[in-house]
Amino acid sequence: MADIGGPRIAEIKGPSASGGAITPGSIVEIKAAIRHPMESGLRKDKDTGEVVPAHYIEKVEALYLDKPVMRATWTGAMSKNPYFRFNIKATKSGKVKITWTDNKGGSWSQEAEIKVQ
């Protein structure tokens, strides 16, 4: 149970065409990850032969300037320690907040700043 959490917005990357510079209207790439077992509830423990209970992230939400830019519903078929990449259209400098919530009520958030030139 220890190896869970540590939400990360690992990268905020501007368009390579502009050398990574973010200007109003730029499509910005966001990479995010969290440590989580993502147990589907379908796997049996090798030693005990018992089904490992389902424990997975089921909701992910990304806000930019307090408005949703991405919302996801996941199942236990997302890989362990799930990573994902998506985009945001930058309009002005401001906060990106990503929240992960699992099926047992665990919730983790991470914030980062998009800096628009």
**Using CB under 8 A as the criterion, which residues of the chain lie in contact with another protein when the complex forms?**
27-28, 38, 40, 42-43, 64, 67-80, 82-91
How many alpha carbons fall within 13 Å on the CB side of residue 10? 11
In whole angstroms, the minimum distance from the beta carbon of 20 to another protein comes to 16
> In terms of CB distance, is 78 or 108 closer to another protein?
78
> In terms of CB distance, is 40 or 101 closer to another protein?
40
In whole angstroms, the minimum distance from the beta carbon of 92 to another protein comes to 12
> In terms of CB distance, is 4 or 70 closer to another protein?
70
In whole angstroms, the minimum distance from the beta carbon of 79 to another protein comes to 4
Query: Backbone dihedral region of 65: left (phi > 0), alpha (psi from -120 to 50 degrees) or beta?
Result: left
Closest CA relative to residue 88, chosen from 30, 15, 16, 8: 30
Q: In this structure, are residues 82 and 34 in contact, taking their beta carbons and an 8 Å threshold?
A: yes
- CA of residue 15 relative to chain centroid, distance: 20
In whole angstroms, the minimum distance from the beta carbon of 84 to another protein comes to 5
Tokens of 85: 């990449």
